[in-house]
Structure 1
Amino acid sequence: MASLVTAEACDSNAGLLLSGDLRCLQPIFQIYGQRRAFSGPIVTLKVFEHNVSVRELLETKGEGRVLVIDGGGSKRCALLGGNLAQLAQNMGWAGIVINGCIRDVDEINNCDIGVRALASHPQKPNKTGYRKASDQSFCWEIDP
């Protein structure tokens, strides 16, 4: 990936920022994983305190995509751990952005992917519930 200075990208694309076509992550996300910078087409997923569909999606070929998980901002459990991060790396995902928590920080930091999350939390997520993923930057939901 070519080096890109974020401030320069913002300065030279003011119109895209105003229209919302270019957005920056709020400075609430912590950096994990070996890739400090990553990019790619996004796939979105909406879940709340469970990660069954996160695993299902990461079991598919990533092809350089970035998984964006809307975990509702919950800090009561983790949605991604070391095993799933390793799976993401093995399947070719470029990175994962989580509006929620991760666990197994040392394991994730050893993976060659980029991860952004609100914080780390040692508790496992629930294994019930299901949410659908989308390649179009929106999600539809099926209640558990």
Structure 2
Amino acid sequence: MGDAHDHSGSPDVPGVPDFPGFLDIPPPTLADVLGRGQVMDHGLRPLWGPAPRIAGPAFTVRCPPGDNLMLHAAIYRAAPGSVIVMDSGGDTDYAVAGGNVCAVAQRRGIAGFVIDGVVRDLAEIRAMGLPVLARGIAPCPGGKSAVAPLGELVRCGGVEVHAGDVVVADEEGVAVVPAARAAEVLAAARAKLAKEAAEDLDAWEAAHRARIDALLAAGG
């Protein structure tokens, strides 16, 4: 099976993004840098809170509606630090994971899950503190029969995600940084945060009011 490549974030590997650096970047800042097309829809939310921010390389999974086999396989194949990103084919009737799957994923060093679908055993997930973003909760488990490759292009929350893309997620949303642009985006995001930190509220208000007044005047 085509497992995703191991993008562990090592600084010794050329072209591999500095994933820990993205932990300092909130999704709204990445949204400003990347644009709407790289931000998942608001239906994918943390299932408990306050949940910590996660940032790591996407390990991509696709399962057909009602089946969860490949997600369960993914927890044994994703590298530590990975964010497992799943496309469940629009299914919100059958849970793709529960407490034991999440516990094993956590024990193996998985950073968290971003699931375009539903899970169960929320109390257990909350108690263990594993970040899980999904569309909600459903008590019925799916089946396990559909074998498919791992690490392929998926669509999750309306965004195309390749294995190795940087996924940054917290209560503000989920941003996906294409791996090839990771260094550029990280630098731009850091510069934006530094500029904002250097500007006090009075200066921001003055500039904001001038801009709004100009737009109102231009619009008649």
TM-score, normalised via structure 1 length: 0.80
Question: Of 18, 32, 42, which aligns to 1:27?
Answer: 42
Match of 2:30 in 1: 9
Instruction: Give percent identity, aligned residues only.
Output: 25
Residues 51 and 126 in structure 1, CA contact (< 8 A), matched pair in contact too: yes
Structure 2 gaps, min length 5: 1-19, 154-161, 164-220
Correspondences of 1:1-144 after superposition (within 5 Å): 2-11=23-32, 13=33, 16-17=34-35, 20=37, 23-32=38-47, 35-48=51-64, 49-60=66-77, 62-134=79-151, 137=162
Structure 1 gaps, min length 5: 139-144
Tell me, in whole angstroms, the C-alpha distance in 1 between the residues paired with 2:27 and 2:71. 28
Cα distance per residue 1:30-56 (max 9 Å; x no partner): 313574311100011110221222111
SS at match of 1:55: helix
Residues 47 and 136 in structure 2, CA contact (< 8 A), matched pair in contact too: no
SS at match of 1:87: helix
Calculate the aligned-residue CA RMSD, in Å: 2.1
More helix by share: 2
Tell me, in whole angstroms, the C-alpha distance in 1 between the residues paired with 2:95 and 2:141. 6
Say how many residue pairs are matched: 132
SS at match of 2:136: strand
Tell me, in whole angstroms, the C-alpha distance in 1 between the residues paired with 2:100 and 2:53. 21
